[in-house]
Amino acid sequence: MRLALLGCGTVGGEVVRLLHEQAADLAARIGAPLEIAGIAVRRVGRDRGDLPVDPALFTTDPLGLIKRDDVDVVVEVVGGIEPARSWLVEALRAGKSVVTANKALLAEDGATLHDAAAEGGADLYYEASVAGAIPLLRPLRESLHGDRINRVTGIVNGTTNFILSAMDATGTGFAEALEEATELGYAEADPTADVEGFDAAAKAAILASLAFHTRVTAAHVHREGITEVTAADVASAKAMGCTIKLLCIAARGVDAAGRETVSVRVHPAMIPLTHPLASVGDAFNAVFVEAEAAGQLMFYGRGAGGAPTASAVLGDVVAVARNRLAGARAASESAYADLSVRPMGEALTRYHISLDVADRPGVLESVAGVFARHEVSIATVRQGPAGGGPAGRGSEAELVIVTHVAPDAALAATVRELRGLEIVRSVASVLRVEGGA
């Protein structure tokens, strides 16, 4: 089996290392030795440390490498939409199996890759694209194929989990924690993709597509990042016995006409410390799957970093190599359900709202009236002096309100109206609450 490796950075370098260190075992598992035919990179002369590889294998001509007759499997760990899409389409149409970690591409235009795979009769595997080392896509696309998945809730971005965990545990600043995550190889080349939730949204689209047999793209996913999460939010969460996580939530629902739909969203949310996802710290990922017959399943492990991601890539390489030797191909994409994706405004969620208000008679009634007008039911209200100062008539107070479940659009309209009230000095924080706090 001859491999064309596209990319030799954080992930690609570890793929090379593992291929070298485990050559004998991999050959035994596949039934044929695995050899690297060539490695396409941007800079052939780049210092790659002690990587156990013949420098003559490096090339800056990925297409030339893919088209070589002696290449059976193409492994893409470069990233981005183009030129990666053109390379993979070329490979798949030519009947070469593809293994990729490129979540951005799969979420933006997975359909083109799946179609090319079907056309060329080739395998397209992408376990590493979601949650790094965690075996998750294979269970969704194979083990759970006899079941009906209702909801997938996950922490799928290591960088933001690292940052939020550090902010929660030690009060580390956002910038400092991001720098450390980048040094550890967790963050994307442009960390905006991590902190603004684009990376998690891409993974959410891939998970939703597999879980609900529907083509969901990144454009369908409601996305909010963590750049506006403040130390005060973290403290508020703690006061409620919660922690803040960047969650990806993909769930089945029913629209007003009774048709089955899916909703897919990524945003920071407060979850109770008793929730299974609350204890997922550092750059770890975890995904909680709720299925009709299987019940609740939890997948946990390292979601980012060179070696963990390379482990998932190699698992796919073994699978596609075995298929090729057997003259077989994995089942193709399953998108038969073709459910429509509901807008975020219809998603059912809860809000935690912290307001600085005037402390005088009638304030609570006015605030409660806004919630009532938008048919949002209040679950709890807590009042204390604003900024810890003295309470009492004429001073300011902090109101912390947690709602019951309501459509997101009603909650957002409530917050908009609160912002316009004379008695509301400021809306200090608005966070969604998930998981039964």
Residues that bind ligand NDP (CB under 6 A): 7-12, 40-43, 46, 62, 77-79, 101-103, 128, 132, 185-186, 188-189, 304-305, 309
Q: Which is nearer to ligand NDP, 190 or 292 (CB)?
A: 190
194 binds ligand HSE (CB under 6 A): yes
Give alpha helix (H) positions in 327-398: 363-373
H or E element at residue 345:
none
Stretch that binds ligand HSE, among 184-192, 226-234, 380-388, 412-420 (CB under 6 A): 184-192
Within residues 300-339, the interface with ligand HSE by CB under 6 A covers 303-304
Query: DSSP of 222-283, one letter per residue?
Result: EE--STT--HHHHHHHHHTTEEEEEEEEEEEEE-TTS-EEEEEEEEEEEEETTSTTTT--TT
Catalytic residue among 96, 103, 203, 245: 203
Is the distance from CB of 88 to CB of 79 less than 8 angstroms?
Answer: no
Is the distance from CB of 279 to CB of 243 less than 8 angstroms?
Answer: no
Give the tokens for residue 310.
């390379």
For 264, residues 6+ apart whose C-beta sits below 8 A from its C-beta are 204, 205, 208, 216, 220, 221, 222, 248, 249, 250, 341
Picking from 176, 161, 199, 133, the residue whose alpha carbon sits closest to that of residue 282 is 161
41 binds ligand HSE (CB under 6 A): no
Residue 268 binding target from ligand NDP, ligand HSE, none, CB below 5 to 8 Å by type: none
103 part of the active site: no
199 binds ligand HSE (CB under 6 A): yes
Stretch that binds ligand HSE, among 185-193, 256-264, 394-402, 411-419 (CB under 6 A): 185-193
For residue 420, give Cα distances in angstroms to 325, 352, 355, 371, 378. Answer: 67, 18, 12, 13, 19
188 binds ligand HSE (CB under 6 A): yes
Of 58, 125, 126, 186, the one binding ligand HSE (CB under 6 A) is 186
Within residues 247-286, the interface with ligand HSE by CB under 6 A covers none
H or E element at residue 331:
none
Stretch that binds ligand HSE, among 41-49, 182-190, 209-217, 325-333 (CB under 6 A): 182-190
Within residues 124-163, the interface with ligand HSE by CB under 6 A covers 132, 157-159
**Residues with active-site annotation:** 203
Chain positions contacting ligand HSE, by CB under 6 A: 132, 157-159, 186-188, 194, 199, 303-304
